Amino acid sequence: MNFINIFCKNETLSFVKISFFALFLFSIQIQTVFSQKKIAKSEFIEDLNFAKNKLEKYHLGMYHYETKEEFEQRLKDIEDSVGDSLSILAAYEKTANLVSGLKDLHTGVYLPKNYFPKKGNKYLPIIIRRFDDQFYIHYNLSSDTTILRGSEILKINNEPILESFKKFKNLYGADNGNPISKNYYAERAFQRYYNNLYGKKDSVNVEIKDLNGVVYNRKIVFETSKTTNKILPKRYKNSTRKNMNLAVVDSVNHISKLDITSFSLKKNMFDVSQQKFKKDIKRAFKKIEANKTEHLIIDFRGNGGGLINNINRITKYVSPTPFYLSDSIYFKKASFSKMFPAWSIIPPIIGKVIFNKKIEGNYLKLNTGRKKTKPSKKYHYDKKIYVLMDGGSYSATTFTIGLWKDMQRATFIGSRPGGANWGSFAGQWYSTKLPNSKVKVRIPLMKIVHAHENHVTKSFFVEPDFYVEQDFEDFIKRKDTPLDFTLNLIKNK
Sketch the domain layout of the chain as residue ranges.
122-235, 246-431+444-491
Per-residue pLDDT, averaged over 366-371, amounts to: 60
What pLDDT is recorded for position 130? 97
pLDDT at 18 over 50: no
**Exposed / middle / buried, residue 384 (Cβ in 10 Å: 0-12, 13-18, 19+):** middle
Q: What one-character-per-residue DSSP string does 110-179 give?
A: E--TTSS-SSS-EE--EEEEEETTEEEEEEE-SS-TTS-TTPEEEEETTEEHHHHHHHHTTSS--GGG-H
Q: What one-character-per-residue DSSP string does 418-435 give?
A: SS-SSEEEEEEEEEEE-T
Angle at 59 between CA 366 and CA 451, to 5 degrees: 30
How many Å apart are CA 161 and CA 168, to the nearest integer? 11
Closest CA to 227 of 155, 124, 129: 124
* CB of 395 closer than 8 Å to CB of 426: yes
* CB of 350 closer than 8 Å to CB of 288: no
pLDDT confidence band for 117 (50 / 70 / 90): confident
pLDDT confidence band for 25 (50 / 70 / 90): very low
How many Å apart are CA 139 and CA 229, to the nearest integer? 11
Alpha-carbon distances of 212 from 44, 136, 216, rounded to whole Å: 49, 14, 11
* Assigned fold of 246-431+444-491: 2-enoyl-CoA Hydratase; Chain A, domain 1 (3.90.226)
pLDDT at 12 over 60: no
What pLDDT is recorded for position 6? 30
How many Å apart are CA 122 and CA 194, to the nearest integer? 11
How many CA atoms lie less than 13 Å away from 232 in the CB half-sphere? Answer: 16
Segment 56-67, tens digit of pLDDT: 999 999 999 999
Q: Which residues contact 312 (CB under 8 A, 6 or more apart)?
A: 325, 373
Segment 286-332, tens digit of pLDDT: 999 999 999 999 999 999 999 999 999 999 999 999 999 998 888 99
* Assigned fold of 122-235: Pdz3 Domain (2.30.42)
pLDDT confidence band for 23 (50 / 70 / 90): very low
Provide the greatest CA pair distance for the chain: 82
- 4-8, 281-285, 389-393, range with the lowest pLDDT: 4-8
